[in-house]
Structure 1
Amino acid sequence: MLAVTAALFLSGCVQYEPARLNLQRPGETVEQQQRYAAKFLYAHRILPAIAKNEPEDLARGLRSWPEIYLRRVWIDLQDINPGFVNAQLEQITAESFEGPDGTTIYLINLPPPEFSPEAYYAAFVYPAPEGHPPYYTLEKSARIETSELQLELAAFGAWDGLTHYGLGVFDVLSGPDFVQLVSESLEEPFEAQVEDTQEVGE
């Protein structure tokens, strides 16, 4: 089941120590590092691993009780910082949208990102063409600020398990606009769209 999968995944994460996970960020407080670790692990490690390894359980959860399902995974991160994880629980919400060719796109709203590459949104797509659903993220990227311009950029990424495909940089999008971007991406394989690829491992 999903909660077991998440717990097993986390048990291999060196007890969530940011330094051991390469999640420490110079100049930030322990509290900031803990918040970053929780959000990074959730969107960039646990959800793509579940999509790859437990696609049927994930599909049932998203169809039946998506927010309960996704929040159960998030709450497994409370050992990192219980106060923060519990306070952010209701930020995790889910909506479903009709995608191209009879697909359903499940939009996951995430706790607001503070640092790159924390994610604004994630999305799963069913039915799963390769046995597991495509998984996408829209991640906080760079901030451009001049005397005439202030612009927040977001990176669009796709995942196959823990292989990350960079699909471009955009303005920060609304949830429905992110879903539209996912819909357009489904028209061709990740590899045909990729700007960079990263094997993130564990």
Structure 2
Amino acid sequence: MTILNARNLSLEEVQRLFGFQEQYNDAFSNLLSLKPITEAEQQELFQIRDDFRRYLISGKLSEGQVKLLVVAPLLRLAGFYQYPIEIRLEENIADIEVEDEDITIKGRFDILAINKVKHTKPQAYFWVLIVESKNSQIDVSTGLSQLLTYAYRGLDNQQSVWGLITNGRLYQFVYIQQGNPPIYQMMPLLNLMESPRAVELLQVFKAICQLEV
């Protein structure tokens, strides 16, 4: 039995092991209903951005700093801290056994948002959003292989799940679906430092949060 860590897998390996196919979607409105944010929400959003910028100009920020300074405040502002959504941190994924190969994959979620009142199977909650955080100097695309590996486990229990890879400044949302083959759609890249894109970022967070509530 070969045991692999999800963190060490390349995108090519993930595509081969799980059969994922990549697609591109040029508008969030194709999948989500984006609603205007309030003036108070915009002010808080820009405060989160400005706090992050102040740290960013001093140098590289760790994954932990990215999660604390921007990801956690954005999740709270979007409603992810409100029942029935629950945030879980640094949890092990159940071992993934690759079909027709003597391989088991292990790993740990950075952040997983679940719906506490929606069960997909007994003892299994609906996964709302998977977040993979990187340090501020890493290209967000490097987290895609991990995100897809974790999402593949969730697709055992539900037809689709949203994923996000971020380095604090850039936000790459991915819509991942069951199928033969399974498909992941790369959504438009959003930049927290650009005001219109920052507003759209919060709109996307809120729309995902409200999908299954």
TM-score of the two chains, using structure 2 as the length reference:
0.31
- Report which structure shows greater RCO (CA 8 Å, sep ≥6): 2
